[in-house]
């Protein structure tokens, strides 16, 4: 034990960790806000092309993915209650459902993207270029925004797996649930962004 690490461990402030996590969430929100600005400007300039391009996306797949993410958000929120009620087994089940939902979301996303690639709808493809500027921008934004969102899902999967392992070996319990709480907040953020992405890409008519 040396002096430095001794200091670190004396002080534990869960409120500070939570506030820090919220500030990080604000950063993430502004990151996506930048993209929403770009989206709204280009949609304003290419209204017709955007709604025609959006018809190529499957509303069914989008809706299923939305429901999947909502369920996963609810289960990780329930896990924060379960751990405080000292119900380790139920916590693990809930986190397991969350993880499963996240993986299913990614699988759906994979097939959706692959379908678009097969039709030649990817940035700088010849088909897309022949379709005109509105479509180019729509699909550029579609891949960029859902791609960045999917990247966040992957980070979330890693994070929740770590939480799951730590709950399982009891290093995360009702006395020290802050990592679970913060992972939950992060996961809700991912959900929150999708709640806006879904109508903007799948539902415009």
Partner 1 sequence: MEDHSKSHIVPYKTYLLILAGLIVLTLLSVAITHIEFGELSVFAAILLASVKSSLVLVYFMHLKFDNKVLQIFVTAIFILVALVIFITFLDYNYR
Partner 2 sequence: MSQQESTQTHVSFRDYKGRYKGLFAWIFSTDHKRIGLLYLYSIITFFITGVLLGIAMKLELISPGKTVMDPATYNAVFTLHGVIMIFLVVVPGLPAVFGNFFLPIMIGAKDVAFPRLNLLSWWVYVLGALVALSSLFMAGGPPDTGWTFYAPYSFKTNTNMLPAVLGAFILGFSSILTGINFVVTIHRLRAPGMNWLKMPLFPWTLYGTGWIQILATPIVGITLLMIVGERLFNIGFFDPALGGDPILYQHLFWIYSHPAVYIMILPAMGAISEIIPTFANKSIFGYKAVVISTLAIAFVGYFVWGHHMFTSGMSGTALYTFSLLTMLVAIPSAIKVFNWVSTMHKASIQLEPPFFWAASFLFVFMIGGLSGIALGVLTTNVHLHDTAFVVAHFHFIVFGGVGFAFMGAIHYWFPKIWGRMYNTKIATTGWMMFFIGFCILYLPMFLLGIQGMPRRYYDYVDRFHGPNIISTMGSWVLFVGLAVIIINLIRSAKKGEIATKDPWGGKTLEWTVDSPPTLENFEEIPVVEKGPYDYR
- Give the interface with partner 1 as residue ranges (CB under 8 A): 13-15, 18-19, 22, 26, 29-30, 33, 36-37, 40-41, 44-45, 59, 63, 66-67, 70-71, 73-74, 77-78, 80-82, 84-85, 177-178, 181, 184-185, 188, 191-192, 195-196, 198-200, 203-205
CA of 25: how far to CAs of 31, 37, 55, 67, 189, in Å?
Answer: 10, 18, 32, 22, 7
Q: Which is nearer to partner 2, 79 or 141 (CB)?
A: 141
Residue 191 interacting partner from partner 2, partner 1, none (CB closer than 5 to 8 Å by kind) = partner 1
Separation CA 202–CA 148 (nearest Å): 17
Tokens of 56: 């190529």
- DSSP-derived secondary structure for 58-99: -HHHHHHHHHHHHHHHHHHHHHHHHHHTT-HHHHHHHHHHHH
For the CB of residue 145, give the shortest distance to partner 2 in the complex, in Å: 10
Nearest approach in angstroms of CB 147 to partner 2 is: 9
Give me 176's structure tokens: 């020290």
4-23 mask for partner 2 (x: CB under 8 A)?
xxxxx--x-x-xx--xx--x
Which token pair is 106? 């990614």
Q: Cβ 17 to partner 1, closest distance in Å?
A: 9
**HSE (side-chain half, CA atoms, 13 Å) at 97:** 17
Tokens 């379908």 correspond to: 115
What is the smallest separation between the CB atom of 85 and partner 2, expressed in angstroms?
28
Residue 43 in tokens: 């949609």
Number of neighbours of residue 17 by Cβ within 10 angstroms = 14
Question: How far apart are CB 137 and partner 2 at their closest, in Å?
Answer: 5
Residues that bind partner 2 (CB under 8 A): 1-8, 11, 13, 15-16, 19-20, 23-24, 26-28, 30-35, 37-38, 41-42, 45-46, 123-124, 129, 132-134, 136-137, 140-141, 143-144, 148
């Amino acid at each position: 034990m040396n002096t430095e690490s001794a200091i670190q461990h004396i002080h534990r402030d869960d409120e500070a960790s939570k506030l820090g996590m919220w500030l990080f969430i604000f950063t993430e929100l502004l990151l996506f806000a930048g993209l929403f600005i770009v989206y709204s400007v280009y949609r304003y300039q290419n209204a017709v092309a955007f709604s025609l391009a959006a018809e190529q996306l499957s509303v069914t797949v989008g809706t299923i993915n939305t429901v999947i993410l909502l369920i996963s958000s609810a289960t990780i929120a329930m896990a924060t209650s379960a751990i405080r009620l000292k119900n380790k087994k139920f916590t693990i089940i809930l986190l397991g459902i969350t993880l499963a939902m996240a993986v299913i979301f990614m699988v759906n996303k994979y097939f959706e993207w692959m379908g678009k690639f097969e039709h030649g709808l990817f940035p700088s493809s010849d088909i897309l270029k022949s379709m005109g500027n509105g479509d180019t921008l729509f699909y550029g934004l579609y891949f960029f925004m859902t791609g960045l969102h999917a990247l966040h899902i992957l980070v979330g999967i890693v994070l929740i797996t770590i939480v799951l392992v730590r709950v399982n070996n009891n290093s995360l319990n009702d006395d020290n649930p802050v990592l679970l709480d913060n992972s939950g907040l992060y996961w809700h953020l991912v959900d929150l962004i999708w709640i806006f992405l879904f109508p903007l890409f799948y539902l415009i008519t």
